[in-house]
Chains A and B, each alone.
Chain A
Amino acid sequence: MIHSLFIINPSGDVFLEKHWRSVIPRSVCDYYLEAQRASPNDVPPVLAAPHHYLISIQRGGVALVAVSKQEVAPLFVIEFLHRVVDTFQDYFSDCTETIIKENYVVVYELLDEMLDNGFPLATESNILKELIKPPNILRTIANTVTGKSNVSSILPSGQLSNVPWRRSGVKYANNEAYFDVIEEVDAIIDKSGATVSAEIQGYIDCCIKLSGMPDLTLTFVNPRLFDDVSFHPCVRFKRWESERILSFIPPDGNFRLMSYHIGSQSVVAIPIYVRHNLTLRNNGDQGRLDLTVGPKQTMGRTLENVALEICMPKCVLNCSLTANQGKYSYDPVSKVLLWDIGRIELPKLPNIRGSVSVASGADTSGANPSINVHFTIPQLAVSGLRVSRLDMYGAKYKPFKGVKYVTKAGKFHVRM
């Protein structure tokens, strides 16, 4: 189980420590810092020190290092640490060093509420929020005046109910239920434009503001599409297995209802193509770069927020390019070329071309960069997934319902 937690800033200072069992000296973090010095961006998530194990995650510029003295399931710790950061973000809207320092006491109270003796106690945001009220200016002032505190003195109702994710007595004037179907396309495209691998990582995120204890059923037009699904605990798995519908009592507010994976069995449509030509040795120390981007299999929708990111070979000193659309920048230190294109309006195809200066005498063989592609396509789920209907039981009012689809690039790489 988790014995202690240390939060470390990028310069290597431990700025928060919390022990759930006996105190472990913070010098144990040296093993983490040592690994960090060796490879700043790639610290292995599990490290072994002589008497302890260090399991860490990095998020929002800080590193959370959990220390355990015994055998422990690393994924359990990693999931928990991510949950800690999620909770901080939920409470303070961000999880940075400054914000944590500004809210030390609440952070400490939260950590104590989330874990007891290394066992998770309450990690559902609705329960935590009932126990410890998130800070806001109004409440702080009110508390100062009335002498009340942020800490609730009654046991949250949801803590032990069989729907721990939902608090009771929710009331809204406007009852609404919104569903966002988000699909991320992960793909590797090789030099010739052929697809090496492609898969879709999909999520259904909800914003549900419904009074009482509504029981919802979400039906898909084509539920057999999914290769793998994972659900929020509220989804009744039995009904999914037998009827392929999502039946659930939703948590209040924003949450991820389901995530799914499509790719191993079905062919994934690739919505964008990049024609590229990079020659590093042309005449003297000048090379040439020519890139054209265009839509492909977009089902008639427009590509938006298109941006290309290329990590150029080390020998490239600078680029001087002209784009017929969007802006570009080149950072000679990190060697990253960024071309922010925006919307692609047909028939004009965005193009960027020009010369790149190469360090003289540098070895240019074997350097083949990869293009990292970003895009969004509104109103399209590239897998073809469609929600057919949403039914509500257990409440008398008629809610507003809405479904929005969006497709984005996930890890979308084009090899040059």
Chain B
Amino acid sequence: MTDSKYFTTTKKGEIFELKSELNSDKKEKKKEAVKKVIASMTVGKDVSALFPDVVNCMQTDNLELKKLVYLYLMNYAKSQPDMAIMAVNTFVKDCEDSNPLIRALAVRTMGCIRVDKITEYLCEPLRKCLKDEDPYVRKTAAVCVAKLYDISPSMVEDQGFLDQLKDLLSDSNPMVVANAVAALSEINEASVSGHPLVEMNAPTINKLLTALNECTEWGQVFILDALSNYSPRDAREAHSVCERITPRLAHANAAVVLSAVKVLMKLMEMLSDETELVGTLSRKLAPPLVTLLSAEPEVQYVALRNINLVVQKRPDILKHEMKVFFVKYNDPIYVKLEKLDIMIRLASQANIAQVLGELKEYATEVDVDFVRKAVRAIGRCAIKVEPSAERCVSTLLELIQTKVNYVVQEAIVVIKDIFRKYPNKYESIISTLCENLDTLDEPEARASMVWIVGEYAERIDNADELLDSFLEGFHDENAQVQLQLLTAVVKLFLKRPADTQELVQHVLSLATQDSDNPDLRDRGFIYWRLLSTDPAAAKEVVLADKPLISEETDLLEPTLLDELICHISSLASVYHKPPTAFVEGRGAGVRKSLPARGTVSEDTQPQLQTVIPNQESLIGDLLSMDIGGPPAPAAPAAPASNLDLLAGGLDVLLGGPEPAATATTATGSATGLLGDIFGAVPPASYVPPKQCWLPADKGKGLEIWGTFTRQNGQMRMEMTFTNKAMQAMSGFAIQLNKNSFGVFPGGALAVGALAPGAAADAPLALAAAGPVQRMDPLNNLQVAVKNNIDVFYFACLIPAHILFTEDGQLDKRVFLTTWKEIPAANEVQHTISNVLGTADSIAQKMTLNNIFTIAKRNVEGQDMLYQSLKLTNNIWVLLELKLQPGNPEATLSLKSRTVEVATCIFQAYEAIIKS
């Protein structure tokens, strides 16, 4: 008697058969029929047609039957909302049942039925259940609040369920507390405003810590995760929290252990390194982390990704545990690669011999990816642990002797890095490398080899022959090999001019005349010019000392690392990306940061409510922003004197364009130049009229009018500075405060001195990957402008449309599914009056502003435009514009996972449509 019997069908058709069985008088037959329906549902068959018949079975004393019907309801109620109403009465009645199991089951199931009409009836029973005498019912009801929030956040807030949930945090039963914490965390995370709805304070934390010891393992995970969001007031409190959490490290559940590690790593930041506790904690953290590595491979993988973070933040914790990261030959490949990464991070002079021995062993394994990474790791060890470099090099040489093709190629790539780190030290091995020249077929390896030949041309007798042999197939080479070849030959020529003139001419002509790769041509022309004008200067440029490469090439950036430490055990820690980067709809979410040592910031987010900021708060921010100058441009490798030479020389080659135009790299003039070239300005995106941002009376005579534009994917602030004072102004600089979209200056402010009465246009290129801080309104931008007189502050609104990117066009299908997937709660409507023009002209206008029309439909005389756009911070926004011919009012509906952006998008949309 197995359940597979539920799948046998008869000729009459399954559904028909089931229908009659469901309506049978016999209880037993009914139950069997419902079981059959459930079995079909589990394999994904559509049995929604049986809805009324199944719901009819709901009124029963048999709990199993009731449960089965509920299972069915959860799956199909959404597709039959009107029918689902039929079930409401039974639910409400069950919520009053004397059996707590039934009360809990009813409230649980009701929460799973995502039908608005049912939700209305849920409120009263839920309120009762949250106060139920039985803890089982209360804990189920707590979860139900989270379900309800998912369906209708406003209802949860309006009905006061949040407060009831908060009360449950002090419940006498630890399981209820744990579930209340879980529900609250989820609600906080989903919160539309991005701000946590419930703040943790010391008494709550105390209650949580008490519940922690008594609740289930899953409850412990929830509580620990909630604790990780709390910052204790001082080191003493941190100390006591640490002590109460440490026992969790000995839990059998890996998730509990890792969550405890997260809280401890965060709190350790608050304790000064000298305290005894930090030492004790460091010692206590190591063993459980090591133990995670003997669990199932999936657990190992997640643990290793997190250990990678721990090791970067606090290398001491695991410095003696190198051996546990040694790779077993039957580890899954994803575990092997992670272990290798950590081995390199832990490598030090004390253990390097062991590590190298292992790496050498791995380099002879079967899996190609793993072998490559092992070879690369040897190179990284050489760079990281200086005294071991010689050993690493000889290990690499041994590997090259194996002649295994991909090993040799990988070895040559890393040897190039070793040469750069330790110049003039290991050149004796070059001859060995040259022997393998013919076997290299990967671009990176070939490019590395060519670089080595060029760099050490004076020591390789037949360097010219070697390079010449590469030149034969020049056009078939990969671009990076071509570039290296060009440079190598020029180096060779500068070192041995006597016999290589022909070679260099050959390569220059290959690069400049026969190639259509702009990089290659440009580099060719520059070398050519250099060589023909001033070989001595050429030597200075081409053979200049190179900056040494850094020790650790792949460390995470410290601020990101700190943020990730706060997210240990989460998906973010597995991807090593901040949650904002990959969890949708969290563009404006709260970023977590490690608490400061000794003190705690009272408020992580300064509240800046008004558009015109309070001076003090802004100054504080701006002071730390280095207002003095624009971001330093990347230092050119060549000495400054060569700039002249480059500019002066090129005109001959290029047939004499303006030297200044070629030499300048300021993006500021780029559009002007393009405009000139094309003769006419192409149809432009909407530019709002300039507004007065800083009146002269507030700017001590400096008046600033400005607007924002977007052209060719470049955002820009177009400002006009007018000097209405009696004295000349100079030394202009500009800074933008952190803002919601991370907009920051992409270049310097190109305004020179300004004589009294004079005005100057000041375009400022903008980029959008800067630090983010939520502003109110969202598109508020605070600006500081400095000149020789003073620093002035003002605020302006960024019109949203300049943030629309050029790749905001969604595929039709994707648009459709995304539209459906975004919950209705995330839809906002807006009416635009006085709309002129037809749907087509509007669509055209919108396209110029990067609002892309995906489809156009005509429904019952109305024109519908479906449009998509993407903001610079990767928030997708879907729009639906409803137009009625003859009616000047249009309705714009917006759907987005981050619905906060709606207001500013509506403003921009309306401005564009009326432009």
B593 within 8 A of A: no
Q: Which of B193-201, B248-256, B741-749, B777-785 makes up part of the contact surface?
A: B248-256
Chain A residue at minimal CB-CB distance from B190: A70
The answer to whether A160 and B136 have CB atoms under 8 Å apart is: yes
- Contact between B403 and A101, CB atoms less than 8 A apart: no
- B62 A82 Cβ-Cβ under 8 A: no
A170 at the interface (CB under 8 A from B): no
Q: Is B255 a contact of A75 with CB atoms below 8 Å?
A: yes
A290 beta carbon closer than 8 Å to chain B: no
Q: Known A51-B821, A372-B330; judge A16-B43 contact (CB<8 A).
A: yes
Tell me the complex Cα distance, A368–B364, Å: 7
- Residue A147 is within 8 A (CB to CB) of chain B in the complex: yes
Q: Does B361 contact A (CB under 8 A)?
A: yes
> Within 8 Å CB of B334, what residues of A?
42, 44-45
Nearest A-chain residue to B333, judged by Cβ:
A42
| Cα distance, A20 to B75, chains bound together (Å) | 9
Which residue of chain A has the shortest Cβ distance to B150 in the bound complex?
A21
Residues of chain A within 8 A (CB-CB) of B38 are 104-105, 108
| Segment 561-588 of B: residues with Cβ below 8 Å from A | 569-572, 574-575, 579, 582-584
Contact B44 A17 (CB under 8 A): yes
Report B64 CB to chain A, min CB distance, Å.
Answer: 4
Nearest CB of A to B316, in Å: 15
A residues 154-202 touching B (CB-CB < 8 Å): 154-155, 159-160, 162, 164, 186, 188, 190, 196-197, 199, 201
Q: Does chain B have a CB within 8 A of A34?
A: no
Tell me the bound Cα distance from A121 to B328 in angstroms: 37
Closest to A6 in B: B44
- Contact string, A118-152, partner B, CB cutoff 8 A, digits 1/0? 01110110000000000001001000100101111
In the complex, the answer to whether B146 meets A73 with C-beta atoms within 8 Å is no
Task: Answer whether residue A394 sits at the interface, using C-beta atoms and an 8 A cutoff.
Answer: no
Contacts known (A70-B189, A162-B214, A365-B403); A227 close to B287, Cβ less than 8 A: yes
For the complex, give the distance between the alpha carbons of A365 and B572 in Å.
42
B66 to chain A, nearest CB (A): 9
Asked if A16 contacts B216 (CB within 8 A), the reply is no
Q: Which of B146, B218, B584 contacts A120 (CB 8 A)?
A: B218
User: A349 near B: Cβ within 8 Å?
Assistant: no
**Chain B CB within 10 Å, residue with most, of A56, A71, A229:** A71
A-contact bits for B61-78, CB 8 A (1 contact / 0 none) = 011110110010011001
- Cβ-defined contact, B62 with A365, below 8 A: no
Q: Which of B162-170, B318-326, B490-498, B509-517 contacts its partner?
A: B318-326
Contact flags A71-82 to B (C-beta < 8 A → 1, else 0): 111111011101
A413 at interface (Cβ–Cβ under 8 A)? yes
* Binary A-proximity of B324-357 (CB < 8 A = 1, otherwise 0): 1010111011100000000000000000001001
Q: Is A228 at the interface (CB under 8 A from chain B)?
A: yes
Cross-chain contact B27 with A76 (CB below 8 angstroms) = no
- Of the listed stretches B299-307, B705-713, B788-796, B839-847, chain A binds B299-307
B322 → A minimal CB distance (Å): 9
> Which residue of B has the minimal Cβ distance to A162?
B214
Question: Nearest CB to that of A195 among chain B residues?
Answer: B323
In the bound complex, CA of A103 to CA of B1 (Å): 10
Q: How far is the CA of A227 from the CA of B216 in the complex (A)?
A: 25
As a 0/1 sequence over residues 519 to 549 of chain B, the CB contacts with chain A under 8 angstroms (1 = contact) are 0000000000000000000000000000000
> In the assembly, what is the distance between CA of A199 and CA of B575, in Å?
30
A264 proximal to B (CB < 8 A): yes
| CB-defined contacts of A107 to chain B, threshold 8 Å | 42
Give bound CA distance, A411 to B579, whole Å.
36
Q: How close is B587's CB to chain A, nearest CB, in angstroms?
A: 14
Q: Is the beta-carbon distance between A105 and B218 smaller than 8 angstroms? A: no
Q: Tell me, yes or no, whether A366 is within 8 Å of chain B by CB.
A: yes
Closest to A24 in B: B821
Q: Is the Cβ of A75 less than 8 Å from the Cβ of B258? A: yes
Interface string of A383-416 (1 = CB under 8 A from B): 0000000000000000000000000001101010
Other-chain contact of A101, B3, B179, B182, B821 (Cβ < 8 Å): B3
Would you call B358 an interface residue if the criterion is a C-beta within 8 Å of the partner chain's C-beta atoms?
yes
B290: CB under 8 A from chain A?
Answer: yes
| Stretch of A213-221, A230-238, A273-281 on the interface side | A230-238
In the bound complex, CA of A82 to CA of B291 (Å)? 17
| A73-B225 CB under 8 A given contacts A45-B301, A188-B326 | yes
Are the CB atoms of B225 and A78 closer together than 8 Å?
Answer: no
Once A17-B44, A116-B143, A154-B101 are accepted as A-B contacts, the answer to whether A44 and B301 lie under 8 Å apart by CB is yes
User: Which of B107-115, B116-124, B662-670 lies at the interface with chain A?
Assistant: B107-115
Is A259 engaged at the interface, CB distance under 8 Å to the other chain? yes
Task: Evaluate contact between A160 and B63: CB separation under 8 angstroms.
Answer: no
Smallest CB gap from A106: residue in B: B3
Q: Which of A119, A155, A233 contacts B252 (CB 8 A)?
A: A233
In the complex, are the beta carbons of A72 and B298 less than 8 A apart? no
Q: Does A48 touch B at the CB level, under 8 Å?
A: yes
Query: Would B44 and A78 count as touching, CB distance under 8 A?
Result: no
Chain B residues whose CB sits within 8 angstroms of the CB of A46 once the complex forms = 301-302, 571, 574
CB of A32, distance to nearest CB on chain B (Å): 13
When distances are taken between beta carbons in the complex, the residues of chain B under 8 Å from A237 are 247, 250
* A258 to B175 alpha-carbon distance, docked (Å): 23
A-chain residues with CB within 8 Å of residue B62 when the two chains form the complex:
149
User: B75 contacts which chain A residues (CB < 8 A)?
Assistant: 19, 23
Query: Is the CB of B312 closer than 8 A to any CB of chain A?
Result: no
Q: Knowing A75-B303, A230-B288, A230-B291 touch, does A70 contact B67 (C-beta < 8 A)? A: no
Quick one: closest A residue to B328, CB to CB? A411
Q: Give every chain B residue within 8 A of A355 (Cβ-Cβ).
A: none
| Among candidates A22, A117, A229, residue contacting B146 with C-beta atoms closer than 8 Å | A117
- Judge if A93 is at the interface, Cβ distance under 8 Å: no
Most buried by A among B39, B100, B252, B321: B252
The residues of A that contact B326 with a CB separation of less than 8 Å are: 188, 196-197
Residues of A within 8 A of B641 (CB): none
Task: For A20, give the chain B residue with the smallest CB separation.
Answer: B112
A365 surroundings in chain B (CB, below 8 A): 402-404
- Is A366 a contact of B302 with CB atoms below 8 Å? no
User: Is B330 a contact partner of A411 (Cβ separation < 8 A)?
Assistant: yes
A-side contacts of B78, CB under 8 Å: 22-23
Report Cα–Cα, A355/B78, bound state, in Å. 69
Chain A hits for B2, CB < 8 A: 101-103
Inter-chain contact B250/A57, CB cutoff 8 Å: no
Please tell me if B186 contacts chain A, counting CB pairs below 8 Å: yes
Q: Which of B217, B225, B583 sits near A70, CB closer than 8 Å?
A: B583
Q: How far is the CA of A261 from the CA of B291 in the complex (A)?
A: 7
B135 at the interface (CB under 8 A from A): yes
B571 contacts A74, CB within 8 Å?
yes
Q: A45-B298, A237-B247 are in contact. Are A228 and B252 (CB under 8 A)?
A: no
- The CA-CA distance from A370 to B327 in the complex, in Å, is 12
> Are A155 and B574 in touch, CB under 8 angstroms?
no
Within 8 A of B (CB), among A345-382: 363, 365-368, 370, 372
Shortest beta-carbon contacts, A-B, top 3: A228-B287, A102-B2, A149-B64
- A104-B4, A197-B323, A197-B324 known, 19 other contacts, Cβ within 8 Å: A17-B43, A41-B332, A45-B301, A70-B583, A71-B571, A71-B579, A73-B259, A74-B574, A75-B254, A104-B39, A105-B3, A119-B143, A149-B65, A155-B101, A188-B328, A230-B257, A237-B250, A264-B323, A363-B404
28 sampled A-B residue pairs with Cβ under 8 A: A21-B147, A42-B332, A45-B297, A51-B584, A73-B255, A73-B258, A73-B570, A74-B302, A75-B254, A76-B569, A105-B6, A109-B68, A117-B146, A119-B143, A119-B182, A120-B216, A121-B140, A123-B218, A186-B294, A196-B354, A228-B287, A228-B288, A230-B251, A233-B251, A233-B252, A241-B247, A261-B294, A410-B294
Interface residues of A (CB under 8 A from B): 1, 14-23, 26, 39, 41-42, 44-46, 48, 51, 53, 56-57, 70-76, 78-80, 82, 101-109, 112, 116-117, 119-121, 123-124, 137, 140, 144, 147, 149-155, 159-160, 162, 164, 186, 188, 190, 196-197, 199, 201, 227-233, 237-238, 240-241, 256, 259, 261, 263-264, 311, 314, 363, 365-368, 370, 372, 410-411, 413, 415
